[in-house]
Chain A
Amino acid sequence: MSVSSSLIHLTSPALHSSATLEDKLRILSGAARYDASCASSGSTRSGSGLGVAHKSGICHSWSADGRCISLLKVLYSNHCRYDCAYCLNRRSNDHQRASFTPDELAQLTVDFYRRNYIEGLFLSSAVFASPDDTMLQLLEALRLLRQKYSFHGYVHLKVIPGCSPELTVQAAQLADRMSANIELPTGQGLQLLAPEKREDEILQIFSTAGELQQERKLPARRRQDSVANPAGMSTQMIVGATPDSDLTILKRADLLYRGSGLKRVYYSAYIPVNSDTRLPALPGPPPLLREHRIYQADWLLRFYQFGVDEILDPAHPQLDPDVDPKAAWALRHLEHFPLDVNHASKEELLRVPGIGVRSMRRIISARRHRRLQSDDLGKLGVVMKRARYFLHDGRFYLGDVPQREDFIRNALTSDTRKKAVSQLSFDFSAASEMTASALTGEL
């Protein structure tokens, strides 16, 4: 790496801005709101000084859009060289530009952290100089935070695509989690909407981070130094900007989880912020229900041992908007049900709509002591209004309609339909695992 420091200062956008800290924060947090990631979990960093990371993550607040706030999520700068069709910060947009200085950013993070407003910092940036120079500035801010301010809280760093792998490796030492947004499930889509962003550059970041992860699996004495990037890598895909099907999106996500070893894929319902002929004109509100169903399917991939081909197939490439993907699977496979709640295996129980990882564990534990009956299951956290159609207790079927697809589907949707009418957006209470996970800082 041979970028002279004088060059950094020449290209530092801070020199061109005279905005107050309040203005900068307004502009640069407003520009960061399109990143869905908010997790602060997966790291156990600690040390003498200020802050520790919390293994399961902590939500500190919820903003008016109902999303959790865990980190001070800001761009370092919104001066951008690129002109991506979907992006608010693209070069051709005429709006206020601003940049933090490394010290301002570190001081702000520490001030917020001491008041328990946040778990740490989420730092992203527009690409104001060459990718390497931009990245160097971000690293300088993080180094200041870690070293001068002895900060051991959580740091999420967005890696600038196209920066050299050495800088990614350096970043991994400073950050708890890194991410790079793949934006679209196919390279062609990216080519169309973000011609200056290259898929191979993003995949390069994943592979560099993946190698670091391999190193972590070595025994401690063969590891080079402290754990790099302990919470792993994440990415984000836009839903609804291109005609890609849910199947294409989930296949890509699955490949990222299994192939590239990513920890999380976030999905973001497409919101048009620019008028551009390459972008679809959406008549209605952002596709939030579609985004929600994709998240549910993502949960099935990560925690419920489902394969993509079980959730969707080329004949049915879109998720069912009326029922969640697990219920949709169960309705297609009624031959597996009803299950005996007192004898079904762990894996079988996880496939029952209305039973999550926690309630499955409670069932397994409780049934060692006594036979479970219908009344017990609600107390164990099973969502009976969905689970009852798929269970029996050894003597009785727990549902109140015949075991037929049309009857059960009707019973499952009658409740959610009523809600959908009274509410323009969708209903989150339908996803108990989502509520629980929000407590832990995930999603």
Chain B
Amino acid sequence: MILYYDGSLDGFICLLGHAVKEHLPVTAILSSKKPASVALFEQERIIVTDPDWAATVAGGLHKKLGQRFMRELAQAYYSEEKEIEHDLLHLVRRALKSGPGVLGNLADPLINRVASAAQKTGRESHRLLGLLRFRRLIDDSYLACCAPRTNAAPLTGSHFAARFQAMRWVILDEKRQLGIFGTTDGWQLCTDVAIAPELLQHAEENEIATLWRNFYHNISNPDRFNPKLRRQFMPKKEWRYLTEMQPEGASASPSESESESESPSPSMISKQNESR
């Protein structure tokens, strides 16, 4: 049987609930956002996302399998590895049979795939904690753009909510059109976030960015110059979003910069389809 769902974490949790409860013989799990080629004579079913049912299922799994298992599940899911949903369904079935300890069986191919997928997301979300760069916008909010390989941005929400308590801030995953909106009392995830083209930075932004670049270049010790080592820790593909790696004045005026590095203002970002 092929299961279709809407590609959201809630949708996937609903799918887990149905598949486990009804003992569905699942052969493939497909996100219905992507058009799929359907095999003949295969049974199909479309799973409808129901946030209440998702919460019930997640609560039940949490009770049976524990916090660590749920975190591993979410991180592996957010890795967006090919067919990870199918692996995760198998993993949940095995864990329900023999306990969350199955995660320790790291030499098992299935567990190993899930563990390395989870590790990939976990590692990238930790990197985002350091590498996200916020810019102050004219409405006094702070915006950071990114395009992570995994869907790691939502995992950084509570970190920034704790440290930027009195600030309004947004993390925008440009690849997935996801926005994490920080408010004075927490954060929320919004999908289908669109960017307005004309955006304005705060007057002090250029000056602070210049000071930071100034610091960045002066803290390096020329006698130890080792660009290869730097690229090992901070690959070039990540430089696009880093203030210190931009030539002087590049991110300065949004009107001159390319549309990719455009700076949207949260007040100018339209939120649709709010979830969570």
A residues whose Cβ falls under 8 Å from a Cβ of B: 21-22, 25-26, 29-30, 32-34, 46, 48-52, 54, 58-70, 72-74, 108, 111-112, 114-117, 153, 269, 271, 285-286, 288, 362, 365-370, 372, 376, 379-380, 423, 425, 428-429, 435, 438-439
A186 to B247, CA, bound (A): 45
Q: For the complex, is B191 an interface residue (Cβ under 8 Å from A)?
A: no
A152 to B142, CA, bound (A): 19
Tell me the minimal C-beta distance from B54 to chain A in angstroms. 30
Which of B162, B208, B218 contacts A46 (CB under 8 A)? B162
A269 to B223, CA, bound (A): 10
- Complex A-B, nearest 5 residue pairs according to Cβ-Cβ distance, in ascending order: A66-B229, A63-B220, A369-B105, A65-B224, A365-B104
Do A52 and B162 contact each other (CB < 8 Å), given the known contacts A32-B219, A369-B105? yes
A26 to B216, CA, bound (A): 9
Least CB separation from A363: chain B residue: B106
Do A61 and B218 contact each other (CB < 8 Å), given the known contacts A50-B164, A438-B233? no
Interface string of B109-152 (1 = CB under 8 A from A): 00010000000000100110111111110000010100000000
A423 to B251, CA, bound (A): 34
Complex interface: chain B residues within 8 A of A74 (CB): 215
Least CB separation from A286: chain B residue: B223
Tell me the minimal C-beta distance from A105 to chain B in angstroms. 12
Which of B106, B225, B229 contacts A362 (CB under 8 A)? B106
Which of B164, B209, B225, B228 contacts A423 (CB under 8 A)? B228
A116 to B132, CA, bound (A): 7
B134 and A114 within 8 A (CB): yes
A366 to B210, CA, bound (A): 50
Contact count band on B: 35 or more
Do A65 and B244 contact each other (CB < 8 Å), given the known contacts A25-B215, A369-B108, A423-B228? no
Complex interface: chain B residues within 8 A of A380 (CB): 106-107
B211 and A21 within 8 A (CB): yes
A65 and B230 within 8 A (CB): yes
A108 to B212, CA, bound (A): 9
Q: For the complex, is B221 an interface residue (Cβ under 8 Å from A)?
A: yes
Complex interface: chain A residues within 8 A of B160 (CB): 116
Do A29 and B226 contact each other (CB < 8 Å), given the known contacts A362-B106, A439-B123? no
A115 and B133 within 8 A (CB): yes
Complex interface: chain A residues within 8 A of B105 (CB): 365-366, 368-370
A50 to B212, CA, bound (A): 19
Complex interface: chain B residues within 8 A of A59 (CB): 130, 233
A370 to B136, CA, bound (A): 54
Tell me the minimal C-beta distance from B154 to chain A in angstroms. 17
A21 to B212, CA, bound (A): 12
Which of A63, A66, A370 contacts B232 (CB under 8 A)? A66
B224 and A66 within 8 A (CB): yes
Tell me the minimal C-beta distance from B141 to chain A in angstroms. 11
Do A429 and B219 contact each other (CB < 8 Å), given the known contacts A153-B163, A369-B104? no
Do A376 and B107 contact each other (CB < 8 Å), given the known contacts A58-B129, A115-B135, A117-B243? yes
Give me 9 other A-B pairs in contact (C-beta within 8 A), A61-B130, A63-B221 excluded.
Answer: A30-B218, A60-B131, A63-B216, A63-B219, A63-B220, A117-B244, A286-B224, A369-B107, A379-B107
A29 and B215 within 8 A (CB): yes
Tell me the minimal C-beta distance from A278 to chain B in angstroms. 20
Q: For the complex, is B32 an interface residue (Cβ under 8 Å from A)?
A: no
Complex interface: chain A residues within 8 A of B208 (CB): 111-112, 115
A116 to B225, CA, bound (A): 25
Which of B134, B159, B218 contacts A25 (CB under 8 A)? B218
Tell me the minimal C-beta distance from B171 to chain A in angstroms. 10
Q: For the complex, is B67 an interface residue (Cβ under 8 Å from A)?
A: no
Q: For the complex, is B234 an interface residue (Cβ under 8 Å from A)?
A: yes
B134 and A115 within 8 A (CB): yes
A332 to B104, CA, bound (A): 34
A62 to B228, CA, bound (A): 11
A376 to B109, CA, bound (A): 9
Which of A29, A46, A369, A376 contacts B219 (CB under 8 A)? A29
B107 and A33 within 8 A (CB): no
Which of A64, A70, A428, A439 contacts B220 (CB under 8 A)? A64
A428 and B232 within 8 A (CB): yes
Q: For the complex, is B268 an interface residue (Cβ under 8 Å from A)?
A: no
Least CB separation from B104: chain A residue: A365
A117 to B219, CA, bound (A): 14
Do A50 and B166 contact each other (CB < 8 Å), given the known contacts A116-B134, A379-B112? yes
Do A66 and B230 contact each other (CB < 8 Å), given the known contacts A114-B167, A116-B132, A439-B126? yes
Complex interface: chain A residues within 8 A of B108 (CB): 369-370
Complex interface: chain B residues within 8 A of A362 (CB): 106
Tell me the minimal C-beta distance from A34 to chain B in angstroms. 7
Interface residue ranges of B137-195 to A (CB < 8 Å): 142, 144, 159-160, 162-167
Q: For the complex, is B214 an interface residue (Cβ under 8 Å from A)?
A: yes
Q: For the complex, is B65 an interface residue (Cβ under 8 Å from A)?
A: no
A60 to B209, CA, bound (A): 15
Least CB separation from B160: chain A residue: A116
A115 to B167, CA, bound (A): 11
A65 and B212 within 8 A (CB): no
Complex interface: chain A residues within 8 A of B223 (CB): 271, 285-286
Complex interface: chain A residues within 8 A of B167 (CB): 50, 114
A115 to B133, CA, bound (A): 6
A48 to B124, CA, bound (A): 28
Least CB separation from B116: chain A residue: A379
List 28 A–B pairs whose Cβ atoms lie within 8 Å, in order of A's numbering.
A26-B218, A30-B219, A34-B221, A48-B165, A61-B130, A61-B234, A63-B230, A65-B221, A65-B222, A65-B225, A65-B226, A67-B220, A67-B221, A67-B224, A69-B219, A115-B136, A115-B142, A115-B208, A115-B243, A116-B130, A117-B212, A271-B221, A362-B106, A366-B105, A366-B107, A379-B106, A380-B107, A435-B232
